Amino acid sequence: MGKKKPKQIVDEIALADGVSAAYDGASVRLKGPKGEASKDIRATNVSISIEGKRVILSGKGVSKKEKKAVYSIAAHIKNLLKGVTEGHRYRLKICSGHFPMNVSVTKNEVVIKNFLGEKFPRTLKIKPNVSVKLDGQEMIVEGPSKELCGQVSADIEKLTSVRNRDLRIFQDGIYITDKDGKLIK
């Protein structure tokens, strides 16, 4: 008599104290001390339920496809949970070798002046629920959503990309040095 395989895959995620969760059939929304974050989740093979301080994910089958779907959604929810309890942080370094670059951050906009001697400033609108701070030659991007923080960091890095010049010489720009949870060398 062999072991019976389970009829479905079940994964549970425990919510921290002070965190509330809601699921409306299309998106999971978590609220915590660091803010609010949500993620659209539309997986047909995975059912999501919230019971007290637990989020329960269950797959309808036991194939590899259902396992991947359940564990991917669990990873997204864990990222949301980390974001509303601790927050996500990206660090960027401002490098200006040829021309003194002037970087300023207002409430919802990043302005870069004198990049490679350009006369017109480069601007970027900051996405909602993301904060950008300047600390000397370093920028810090923080927020409850890992995806939004990463996108703002990538947009800032892309804003100072160098084209039509020798990249061995013109290394000016703003570069990501520390992703959330990963150190880039």
Per-position pLDDT tens, the chain of length 185? 556 655 778 888 999 888 999 988 888 999 999 889 999 988 778 888 888 889 988 887 778 888 888 889 999 999 999 999 999 999 999 888 777 888 889 889 999 888 877 788 888 999 988 999 998 889 999 999 999 999 999 999 988 877 776 556 666 778 889 888 776 76
Nearest partner of 45 among 12, 26, 69, 76, judged by Cα: 69
Dihedral sign from CA coordinates of 120, 122, 125, 126: negative
Residues whose CB falls within 8 Å of the CB of residue 99, separated by 6 or more in sequence, listed in order: 114, 115, 116, 117, 172
Report which of 44, 7, 12, 49 is spatially closest to residue 28, judged by C-alpha positions.
Answer: 49
pLDDT of residue 172: 77
CA dihedral 32, 34, 35, 37 (to 10 degrees): -80
Q: Which residue ranges form the domains of the chain, and what is each CATH number?
A: 9-85 (3.90.930.12), 88-183 (3.90.930.12)
Q: State pLDDT tens for residues 44-88.
A: 788 888 888 899 888 877 788 888 888 899 999 999 999 999 999
Instruction: Quote the pLDDT of residue 76.
Output: 92
pTM of the model: 0.84
Instruction: Output the pLDDT for position 90.
Output: 94
What is the Cα Rg of the chain in Å?
A: 21
> Which one, of 174, 124, 128, lies nearest residue 148 by Cα?
128
Q: Which two tokens stand for residue 38?
A: 């949500």
Give pLDDT, residue 82. Answer: 92
